[in-house]
């Protein structure tokens, strides 16, 4: 099966998208079911285009309706074209699109400015059109599939659920303690992901007072870069922290390297996921792989991701979150080890090999429908 992967982005790749490609493409290359693999991207996306099959189109190609991209696809003659970004161009070839970002679909404004909210609305319109137009759709969770079916009337038979995988934990010697993370013997809570309003971090920061009233004074470490309205959101949270007298209890660690993230997962007292909307959260899978004691919202797809390896709270209920955190921080070693084993076992269900196999299956189905 001759396959083309087209990264139809506005000129960049998010960290999660890049990691997805780094893990998936080698497995597609090695599959005997794929006889030709072409990877096409805008010129502003940094890939090793000296490799066979890698090609870049001019950034201005979108102004011409992607004329160069269309011509290149016609020249390479793939049996199927895979668009992982929920955007496609009309081509006379079977197509597969993947939906992996749910914020624009479910909550385009969600605390964002009018500018970022309207951008999300545009992304939703494009994703809806692409899902309806594509030969097949890959949803990265049951939550994504149900949304596409229920809200966009895409036939269920056209959609395959293929979750992301997670890499094995780094060996202890490869983990690096971040310089910004000054933690001692007191318990500390880890939260990670791009900082933006839909992340729901006000739940965790607002839970501090309740946790303090239980006689526990944990430090909170938040890792991640700001995106979109993220810096405005972070500053708003910081003002609330200062007003509550918790300035010394919160560390904004910024973006961390994978070895630094590994150290935080391996050493935190608890990992907390407060997001209002996700598709298949990479940080959640990583926390499970490292055996973190986890607390998450009940918002989908969190229960689908964490299973029985987490304690849950209702999004926005800071007191309930505080109670769950106090519970996990007071667990005995036996209880913590039991929850850690469940986490590692749960993470074992999410492998990149399964992701590759599921992706190839969907590509084959689309190609055969031609």
What is the per-residue pLDDT for 143? 96
* Domains within the chain, CATH numbers bracketed: 2-165+351-368 (3.40.50.2000), 172-347 (3.40.50.2000)
What is the per-residue pLDDT for 11? 62
- Residue 300 vs residue 113, higher pLDDT: 300
Taking residues 135-148, what's their average pLDDT? 97
Q: Say which range, 163-177, 179-193, 344-358, has the weakest mean pLDDT.
A: 179-193
With b for 16 or more beta-carbon neighbours within 10 A and e for fewer, the 13-37 pattern comes to beebbeebbebbbebbeebeebeeb
What is the per-residue pLDDT for 74? 92
Whole-prediction pTM value?
0.92
What is the per-residue pLDDT for 45? 79
pLDDT tens per residue across span 263-284: 999 999 999 999 999 999 999 9
What is the share, in percent, of the chain residues with pLDDT greater than 70? 98
- 40: pLDDT strictly greater than 70: yes
> CA–CA separation, 61 vs 325, rounded Å?
50
What is the per-residue pLDDT for 289? 97
Average pLDDT of the residues of the chain: 91
Give the DSSP per-residue string, 57-126.
E-GGGGGGTSHHHHHHHHHH--SEEEETTS-----SS-EEEEE---HHHH-SSTT--HHHHHHHHHHHHH
Identify the band that residue 59 occupies on the pLDDT scale cut at 50, 70 and 90: confident
What is the per-residue pLDDT for 47? 66
């Amino acid at each position: 099966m001759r396959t083309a992967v087209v990264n139809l982005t506005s000129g960049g790749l998010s960290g999660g998208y890049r990691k997805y490609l780094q893990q998936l493409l080698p497995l597609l290359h090695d599959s005997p079911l794929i006889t030709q693999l072409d990877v096409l991207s805008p010129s502003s996306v940094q890939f090793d285009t000296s490799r066979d099959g890698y090609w870049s189109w001019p950034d201005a190609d979108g102004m011409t309706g992607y004329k160069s991209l269309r011509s290149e696809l016609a020249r390479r003659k793939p049996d199927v074209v895979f668009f992982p970004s929920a955007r496609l161009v009309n081509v006379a070839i079977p197509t597969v699109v993947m939906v992996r970002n749910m914020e624009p679909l479910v909550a385009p404004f969600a605390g964002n400015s009018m500018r970022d909210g309207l951008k999300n609305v545009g992304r939703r319109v494009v994703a809806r059109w692409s899902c309806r137009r594509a030969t097949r759709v890959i949803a990265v969770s049951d939550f994504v599939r149900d949304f596409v079916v229920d809200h966009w009337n895409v036939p269920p038979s056209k959609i395959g659920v293929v979750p992301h995988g997670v890499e094995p934990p780094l060996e202890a010697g490869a983990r690096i303690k971040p310089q910004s993370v000054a933690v001692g013997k007191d318990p500390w809570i880890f939260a990670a992901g791009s900082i933006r309003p839909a992340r729901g971090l006000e739940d965790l920061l607002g839970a501090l007072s309740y946790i303090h009233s239980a006689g526990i004074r944990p430090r909170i470490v938040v890792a991640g870069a700001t995106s979109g309205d993220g810096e405005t959101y972070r500053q708003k949270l910081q003002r609330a922290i200062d007003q509550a007298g918790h300035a010394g209890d919160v560390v904004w660690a910024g973006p961390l390297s994978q070895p630094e993230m590994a150290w935080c997962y391996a050493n935190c007292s608890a990992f907390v996921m407060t997001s209002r909307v996700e598709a298949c959260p990479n940080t959640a899978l990583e926390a499970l792989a490292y055996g973190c004691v986890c607390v998450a919202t009940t918002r989908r797809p969190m229960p689908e991701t964490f299973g029985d390896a987490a304690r849950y709270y209702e999004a926005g209920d800071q007191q309930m979150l505080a109670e769950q955190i106090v519970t996990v921080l007071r667990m005995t070693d036996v209880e913590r080890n039991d929850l850690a084993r469940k986490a590692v076992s749960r993470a074992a269900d999410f492998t990149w090999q399964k992701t590759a196999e599921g992706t190839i299956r969907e590509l084959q189905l689309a190609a055969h429908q031609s």
